Copies of this chain bind each other. A is one copy, B any other.
Amino acid sequence: MIRYFFLFVGLLFSLPVFAQTRTEVNFPDIPGYKTLKCDFHMHTVFSDGDVWPTVRVQEAWQEGLDAIAITDHIEYRPHAQNIEIEADHNRAFEIAEPLANQMGMILIAGSEITRKMPPGHLNALFVTNANLLERDSWWEACVEARDQGAFVFWDHPGWDDQQPDTVKWYQEHTRLLNAGILKGIEVYNGHDFYPEALKWAEEKRLTIMCNSGLHAPESMDYTNGEHRPMTLVFATEKSKGAIKQALKDRRTVAYFDEQLVGDKQYLGPLFFGSIQIENDGIGLENHQIKKLQVHNSSDVDFQLKQRQPSVGFSCPDEVVLKAHKTVFIDLEGTSDEVKNMDQLRLFYGVTNLTMLTGKPLPVNIDIANH
């Protein structure tokens, strides 16, 4: 078979491009930071993924992401029989980058260092030359990543194939941590949550990561309007540098299913930035029922459960603040003093907003009583 490229120079290939639409992911910015939606783990045909690198950019734009990293495996390339094996490990990034720039997406160069447990799989973000990560020794690969200034995190630490029975922290991970190489950990990958990883993130001060790890086209793994997992990054601006700094500073929250998991200093502003009390004041008296109207402008249903009784009135034990909806919370006056109280306070926990401690975020909702 001969090598050829364009047999017929005259061919024009402007196949019709159908209108693409982007569905924004709705979370508020928080004081001092933009809330960027990111996915730092995915594959293409250049390792064991099923799509061309540009597809990862298009998917991510359509799904409302701000930044992604393509992180093909260094050591596992099952398509090597079919893909140009001389293709170097930077190729997927180079193919996707022009499209990312045109679409206003941030594309971060990355690689997955793919080893047996320990240490298992590690993603290196912001690598400058992925080819240099191809080493016999996993330790040398990790050192190389660090020397390139990469941000390194442990992928799916509880993955069944590598930790079928227990989820264990090995001395190799301690070594990586002590060497200043290991900086983050996936508490969620694909469709799986790892509670142990959350505990380690708190104890060892690792950055919380939450990624898809996609191999198939996105719509095959997340169907029926289900959103892909993402890492919310609180950055000073939408730029690679600001994301890198935010990851180093542990300014992230995991967003998967109907859950947000992270430090309460970020969860609180996300919650209060999302809800709006529609009443000007409530003017509650004893033996009255007044309806508090609360709107939730975020994409997540907030599941409220009462932590402690309110003074002077009762309110429902459980409330769901539906995403993009307004709902009622009925307040019923239970004492004569209530009419003299300037402010009413409701004590809830948000059971699907989980702090590093594993506990629900406590929130106090105040409403003027005039």
Contact = CB atoms under 8 A, between A and B. Distances in A.
Given A13-B161, A55-B51, A104-B293, A87 B76 contact: no
Interface string A99-130: 00011100000000011100000000000000
Interface stretch (A197-205, A246-254, A325-333): A325-333
Interface of A is mostly: loop
Nearest to A136: B7
Interface residues of A, number: 85
Given A88-B1, A161-B14, A279-B104, A23 B325 contact: yes
Interface in A191-226: 191-192, 215-217, 219-221, 223
Contacts of A83: 82-84
A162 B10 CA distance: 11
Given A52-B50, A291-B102, A326 B114 contact: no
A134 interface: yes
A169 B118 CA distance: 62
A329 to B, nearest CB: 10
A171 interface: no
Contacts of A95: 82
Interface in A50-76: 50-52, 54-55, 58-59, 62, 75-76
Given A7-B76, A11-B116, A13-B78, 19 more contacts: A1-B134, A8-B75, A8-B116, A18-B191, A19-B320, A20-B220, A20-B328, A21-B327, A22-B293, A24-B324, A50-B55, A51-B217, A55-B216, A55-B220, A82-B84, A82-B95, A83-B83, A217-B219, A219-B219
